[in-house]
Amino acid sequence: MRFPKPRRVTLYILLVFFAFLFLLPLWTCITTSFKPVHDVIYTTPVELPLSPTAEPLITALNIMQRPLLNSFTFTISAMILSCLLGSINGYILTKIRFRGSDTVFLFFSIGIFIPYQAVLVPLVLTMSKLGLFNHIEGLILTHTAYGIPITTLLFRNFYGVIPNSLIMAAKTDGAGTWTIYRRIVLPLSLLPFVVAAVFQFTSIWNDFLFGVALARGSEAQPASVALANLRGTTEFQWNVQMAGTLWYALPVLVIFFVLGKYLMRGYMAGAVKG
Amino acid sequence: MAGNQLPGRKMRLPSRTMLTKDRIVTLILFLPSLVLVGYFVYVTIGWNVVVSLSDWKGLTPSYNIVGFDQYTRLFQDPTFFTALKNNLVLILLFVPGSLFLGLFLAILLDLKVRGEGVFRGIYLLPFALSFVVTAVLWAWMYNPSIGVINTLLMKTGLGFLKSGWITDPNVGLYCVVLAIIWQFSGYTMLIFLAGIRSIPESQMMAAEVDGASGFDLYRLVVIPQLKAPALSAFVVLMVFALKAFDFIFVLTDYSDYTYILPLMMFRETFSMNRFSYGAAIATILFLLALVIVVPYLYLSFRREKE
Amino acid sequence: MVSVAIINLTKTYGTTAAIKDLNLEIKDGEFFIFLGPSGCGKTTTLLCIAGLLKPDKGEVWLGNELVTSSERDVYVTPQKREVAMMFQDYAIYPHMTVFNNIAFPLEVRGEDKSEIVKRVTATANLLGLSQLLDRKPRQLSGGQRQRVALGRAIVRKPKVFLLDEPLANLDAKLRVKTRTDLKKLQRELGVTTVYVTHDQVEAMTMADRIMVQRDGVTEQIGTPEELYNHPANLFVAGFIGSPEMNFTDCTLIKEGARLWLDAREFKTPVPTQVAPKLESYVGEDLIMGIRPEDLYERKSVKGSTQKNALRMTVDIIEPVGPYLLLHLRKGRCSLVARVKHTTARVGQEVDIEMDPSKMHIFDKKTAKAII
C-alpha cells in the first residue's frame, strides 16, 4: 500500500528517529569503550573519541577474561545438551506418541513460563548437596534442565511438519525407533538445530539469576555476574564499564548479525526469555 | 470365515504387546528429560512450597513445619505491599507500552519500507541482549552528571529537563519501565509483524477496493485479526514483568522506589538468610504466573487440537 | 507371497468407527483393491495390515502367521512383518539419494554391501531409474519419485505390497500409463498386493477382486465384473460405472398375472424369469436402476409411442469421444442414455427403450439389490 509522497517522508523520519533511539545506548557504549578518561569527561557520549585508545578494552578484558571463558564453557555445553534432549523429546512427542504424550508436553511447557525464583532455594540446596555449588558443572546441569522445555517446544513445532508417512515408511522398511531417529529425523533437523542452538546460546549466555545464585564470587562466576560486579567496582570508570559490556555482549552481537534470521524464528516460536 | 478358528493356521512367535525393544529404547531416550524436568521444575517447586511452610531462618536448613506463618507475616509486612505496588505499576505501564510501541513499529515496517530488514534488525537488537547489558547501558544513559540523556538535553538547550533519572525516587520506576520497553518492543514488533504478514494480501486489496485506505485499512482489517499474536505477546510480557529481576538488581540494587517482588525474594533469601520467608514470596510469584500462563496454555492446546 | 486374512477387525477414532467388524480373505498373489470414497476406512484397514495401527478388536493373519490379535495379545511390529508399503505422498527420504532410498530397507536389515548394490541396481533397471541413482528426490519429477517409492517397496521382496493411492498425485496421462505398468509388474512379481483407491476406473482396470467400503462397512466384495453386473446394493451400483447408473423410484404392481414396475411417468413389465423373486414385493416401493449403455434410442414413428418405449425430451447432448450422452427428461423422471449416434436435437422428443434383462431392482427400505 502506498501513501502519498509527504506521508512517505514522515514515515522515513519516524523510522530513522526510532532507529536512533534504539541504537543510542549501544552507540554510546561503543564510543565510550574507546575513550580515555579525559575524553569521557570532555566529550559528549555520542561523539567519537578525540584520542581513541584500546586501554579500557584491555583493562576490562583482564578482569573479564576468566568469567567470559566460564560463560563460554557452560553456555556451549548446556546448549548442546539441551538441544539434543529437546530434539529427542520433539521426536518422541510428535512421531512416537503414547497415551498421555500431550499431557507430558503440557507439563514441559509450564517449565517455559515459571518464574525461576520459585525454584531458587531448592536449586541452591540441590547443587550444594551434589557438590556442584560454585562449579561450572552446576551451571551446565541447571541450564540444561531449564532449557529442555523450550527446546522441546521448538523441535516439536519443527517435527510436526515432517510427514508421518515418512516415519511409517521407515517402520515398514524395518527401521526401529533409534534407527528412524538417527537415519531419518536427525538428518532432516539441521534447521531446528540451528534455531534452537542460537536461541539457547543467547538465553544461557544472557542469564544472570542462576549465575548470581549458584556461582557468585567464585572461580566459576559467569560473565554476566562479573559485569555486574564490574559496575560496582569501577563506579566512575565509565569507559572500562562500557568496554566490559562490549566484551560481554560481543558473542550475542555476532550471533545476531550472522544468524539473526534463525534467532527470530526462535523468538517467534512462542519463545520466552528471562 | 467368521470366528477365530482358521484351519491350517498357527501362531508363530507371538510378540507380547508390552515391553517391545522399541518401547525400551523410547523410555531410555525420554528418561533423562523426564527426570531433569520432573526434578528441576516440579520437585523443586514443591520443595519450595514446603520450605515456605517451615520456619527456616539462618544457614542451616530446617523443615519444622509451622503452616502459613510466613504468609501471614508477609501480609503484615509493609515492604511486601510496596513491592507488590511497584510490580503492578511496572506491569500496567510496561505491558501496554511494549504492545503499542511494537504494534506501531510493525505497522510502520509493513508500509513497504525500503531497508525493512535493516530497521527490523535495529529494533529487535535490544531484545537479544542480556538484561545485565541493558542495565549497564541504561545506567550510563541515566547517569545524572555525565550520562547520555542529561548531556544531550544540555547540548540541545533543554537543560531545564535535566533530572536525576534512575536515582530520583519520583521517576526511578518510570526510568526502569522506559528501559525495558526499549528492550521488549522489538520483540512485540516481530510478533505483530508476523501476524500482519500472515493475513492474505488479497484481503487488503479487497478492503482497498471497498474504499478503505491508509490507517483505516489497519484499524478495520488488520488489527482485529491480530488477537492471537497480541495474546501470546501479552503473556510473555506479563510473565516477564512479574519476574523481572536482573535489570533492576544491577541498576538500582535494593532501592525502595524500584523494589519489586523478585528483588524482595532474592534479598530476603540470600542477603537476610530468611529462607522460608523468601520461599513464601517465591510461591506467590509462582501462583501469579500460573494464573496468567495456565489459561493461555489451555487455550493454545485447544486450538492445536482443532 | 502369502495370503492375508482379516477377522472381525474394528477400529474406532473417538466416537466414529473407521472400520466395523471387517472380515476378509485376500488370496495368495492376488491384486486386491479397497475402493470407496475418502474417509471410508480403506487406509485404516491398510495401516492395520502393515501393523502401523493397532485395531481395537480383531485379528490379522499374514499367511499362517498371526500378526495382530487384540484378544490373544499378539502384535508383530511393522519392522518384522515383511510387508512393504507405498504412500500417497511417496514418503521418499528427502535427504537421501535415489540409491540410498532404495537401499534403505536392505541396509536396515543388515544385508551385505555387495548384495545391496546388486539388488538396488537390478530394481533400478527394472523401473528405469538407472540414470537417476545419484539424484536427490527434489531433483526428480513426480513420476520418477513415484517409481523410487515403488523401487523401495519391491527391492526387498516382501510378502505383501500395501499401496495407498499410489497414483493419486500423478497427472491424468501418466496415471493411465502407470496403471498398466503397475499391473504388469505385479503379475511378474506375483506378490500379493493390497491397493487402496477412491478411483473406480483404477479399481476396475487393475484389480483381481475389489472390496467396496463405505463408512467402515464392507458394501460388497467381488471381481470387477461381478460388481459391475451384479451390484449388491444401491451404493455399489451408484459408485461403480461412469456415467452413473440411472435410478428411478417405482412401485411394484400386479395386473392380472403380470408384475409391473410403475414409475408414474412410465410402466414397464417385469421380465418373467425374475418375476418369482419379486412376487413378495407387490405394493412396495422399489428403486429401479439401469445403466446408461442399456438404454437405446428407437426410431420413433410419428404420432404414436412404441410399445415398451418411453417418450422423453432431450435436455442436453454431451459428446464424450466415441459416444454421446443424452440427458433426457419426462416429468420428474430424468435419465442419461449412452448412444453411438442420434439424429435428435436438444428440445426434441425421442423414444427410449431399455433392455429389461439389464434392469436392476433395489428394495427402497434396505437399499439391497433384489435382482
CATH number at residue B179: 1.10.3720.10
Percentage of residues in chain A with pLDDT exceeding 70?
Answer: 97
- On whether both A198 and A255 belong to a single domain, the answer is yes
Is the pLDDT assigned to residue C115 strictly greater than 70?
yes
CB contact under 8 A, C79 and A175: yes
Distance from CA of B10 to the nearest CA of C (A): 6
Mean pLDDT of B230-253: 88
The answer to the question of residue B15 being in a domain is no
Quote the pLDDT of residue A33: 93
- On whether both A9 and A62 belong to a single domain, the answer is no
Give the count of domains, chain B: 1
Strand pairing report for C217-222 and C16-26: unpaired
pLDDT tens track for B42-100: 999 999 999 999 988 887 888 888 889 999 999 999 999 999 999 999 999 999 999 99
The answer to the question of residue B164 being in a domain is yes
- On whether both A87 and A219 belong to a single domain, the answer is yes
Quote the pLDDT of residue C308: 65
Query: Residue B55 contacts by C-beta under 8 Å, 6 or more apart in sequence?
Result: B62, B64, B66, B69, B70, B276
Mean pLDDT of A147-173: 94
- On whether both A140 and A178 belong to a single domain, the answer is yes
Provide the angle, in degrees to the nearest 10, between the axes of the packed helices C98-108 and C113-127.
130
Quote the pLDDT of residue B12: 46
Grid cell locating C30: 492376488
Mean pLDDT is lowest, of A134-138, A199-203, B251-255, B271-275, for: B251-255
The answer to the question of residue A115 being in a domain is yes
What is the fold of C4-239?
Rossmann fold (3.40.50)
Confidence band of C41 (pLDDT split at 50, 70, 90):
confident
Quote the pLDDT of residue A268: 86
Distance from CA of B25 to the nearest CA of C (A): 14
Residues in C touching A186 (Cβ below 8 Å): none
The residue written with cell numbers 555445553 in the block is A77
- Domain map (residue ranges) of chain C: 4-239, 246-363
More confident residue, C371 or C316: C316
CB contact under 8 A, A173 and C83: no
Residues in B touching A152 (Cβ below 8 Å): 33
CB contact under 8 A, C79 and A172: yes
CA distance A197 to A76: 9
Mutating which of C44, C67, C79 best tests the A interface, going by the most A Cβ atoms within 10 A? C79
Which among B2, B11, B20 is the nearest to C23, CB-wise? B2
Which among A14, A29, A122 is the nearest to B137, CB-wise? A29
Quote the pLDDT of residue A272: 41
Domain that holds residue B259: 78-305
Residues in B touching A45 (Cβ below 8 Å): 140, 146-148, 151
Which among A168, A174, A188 is the nearest to C109, CB-wise? A174
- On whether both A76 and A121 belong to a single domain, the answer is yes
Mean pLDDT of B173-198: 94
Q: Does A178 touch chain C (CB under 8 A)?
A: no
CB contact under 8 A, B4 and C25: no
Residues in A touching B125 (Cβ below 8 Å): 22-23, 26, 256
Among the listed residues B278, B190, B300, B294, the one whose alpha carbon sits nearest the alpha carbon of residue B238: B294
CB contact under 8 A, C64 and B8: yes
CB contact under 8 A, A122 and B47: yes
CB < 8 Å from C in window 135-164 of A = 163
CB pairs under 8 A between B and C: 48
Query: Residue A118 contacts by C-beta under 8 Å, 6 or more apart in sequence?
Result: B44, B45, B48, B282, B283, B285, B286, B289
Quote the pLDDT of residue B13: 45
Quote the pLDDT of residue C357: 85
Residues in A touching B138 (Cβ below 8 Å): 25
CB contact under 8 A, B140 and A241: yes
- On whether both A166 and A216 belong to a single domain, the answer is yes
Is the pLDDT assigned to residue B11 strictly greater than 70?
no
Residues in C touching A179 (Cβ below 8 Å): 108
Which among A3, A178, A238 is the nearest to B140, CB-wise? A238
Q: Does the predicted interface ipTM exceed a cut of 0.95?
A: no
Distance from CA of B123 to the nearest CA of C (A): 37
Q: Does B305 touch chain C (CB under 8 A)?
A: no
CATH superfamily of C246-363: Nucleic acid-binding proteins (2.40.50.140)
Confidence band of C301 (pLDDT split at 50, 70, 90):
low
CB contact under 8 A, C61 and B2: no
Three-state DSSP state, A95 = helix
Is the pLDDT assigned to residue B289 strictly greater than 90?
yes
Contact at 8 Å (CB) between B48 and B222?
no
Quote the pLDDT of residue B21: 81
The answer to the question of residue A47 being in a domain is no
Cis before C166 (ω within 30):
no
Residues in B touching A175 (Cβ below 8 Å): none
Quote the pLDDT of residue B303: 77
CB contact under 8 A, C104 and A168: no
Query: Neighbours of A (≥3 Cβ pairs closer than 8 A)?
Result: B, C
Is the pLDDT assigned to residue B1 strictly greater than 50?
no
CB contact under 8 A, B22 and C61: no
Distance from CA of A208 to the nearest CA of B (A): 6
Quote the pLDDT of residue A44: 84
Quote the pLDDT of residue A47: 87
Mean pLDDT is lowest, of B250-254, C57-61, C129-133, for: B250-254
Query: Residue A200 contacts by C-beta under 8 Å, 6 or more apart in sequence?
Result: A78, A79, A82, A83, A147, A150, A151
Mean pLDDT of A81-109: 93
Quote the pLDDT of residue B4: 41
Quote the pLDDT of residue C296: 87
Distance from CA of C103 to the nearest CA of A (A): 10
Residues in C touching A175 (Cβ below 8 Å): 79, 104, 108
CB contact under 8 A, B125 and A41: no
The answer to the question of residue B67 being in a domain is no
pLDDT tens track for A210-246: 999 999 878 899 999 999 999 888 777 889 999 999 9
Distance from CA of B122 to the nearest CA of A (A): 6
pLDDT tens track for C241-256: 989 999 999 999 988 8
- On whether both A116 and A15 belong to a single domain, the answer is no
Is the pLDDT assigned to residue B3 strictly greater than 60?
no
Quote the pLDDT of residue C73: 87
The answer to the question of residue B27 being in a domain is no
CATH of the domain at A251: 1.10.3720.10
Quote the pLDDT of residue A274: 34
The answer to the question of residue A71 being in a domain is yes
CA distance C335 to C290: 9
Which among C77, C79, C87 is the nearest to A165, CB-wise? C87
The answer to the question of residue B173 being in a domain is yes
- On whether both A31 and A76 belong to a single domain, the answer is no
Residues in A touching C156 (Cβ below 8 Å): 173-174
Mean pLDDT of C94-105: 96
The residue written with cell numbers 517402520 in the block is A171
Which among B128, B148, B266 is the nearest to A45, CB-wise? B148
Which among A26, A41, A149 is the nearest to B37, CB-wise? A149
Domain that holds residue A15: 5-42
Mutating which of C24, C54, C64, C71 best tests the B interface, going by the most B Cβ atoms within 10 A? C64
The answer to the question of residue B73 being in a domain is no
Mean pLDDT score across all residues of chain C: 91
Strand pairing report for C31-35 and C192-197: parallel
CA distance B291 to B303: 19
Distance from CA of A62 to the nearest CA of B (A): 18
CB contact under 8 A, C108 and A166: no
Residues in C touching A188 (Cβ below 8 Å): 94-95
Geometric angle at alpha carbon A184, from A89 and C182, rounded to 5°: 135
- On whether both A66 and A35 belong to a single domain, the answer is no
Which among A168, A173, A188 is the nearest to C104, CB-wise? A173
The full DSSP string for chain A is ----HHHHHHHHHHHHHHHHHHHHHHHHHHHHHT--HHHHHHS-TTSPPSS--SHHHHHHHHHHHHHHHHHHHHHHHHHHHHHHHHHHHHHIIIII--TTHHHHHHHHHHHHHS-THHHHHHHHHHHHHTT-TTSHHHHHHHHHHHHHHHHHHHHHHHHTTS-HHHHHHHHHTT--HHHIIIIIIGGG-HHHHHHHHHHHHHHHHH--HHHHHHSTTSTT--HHHHHHHHHHHTTT-HHHHHHHHHHHHHHHHHHHHHHHHHHHHHHHTT----
Q: Does A182 touch chain C (CB under 8 A)?
A: no
- On whether both A18 and A121 belong to a single domain, the answer is no
Distance from CA of B246 to the nearest CA of A (A): 6
Is the pLDDT assigned to residue B214 strictly greater than 80?
no
Quote the pLDDT of residue B180: 94
pLDDT tens track for B93-144: 999 999 999 999 999 999 888 999 999 999 999 999 999 999 999 999 998 8
CA distance C295 to C339: 8
Quote the pLDDT of residue B8: 47
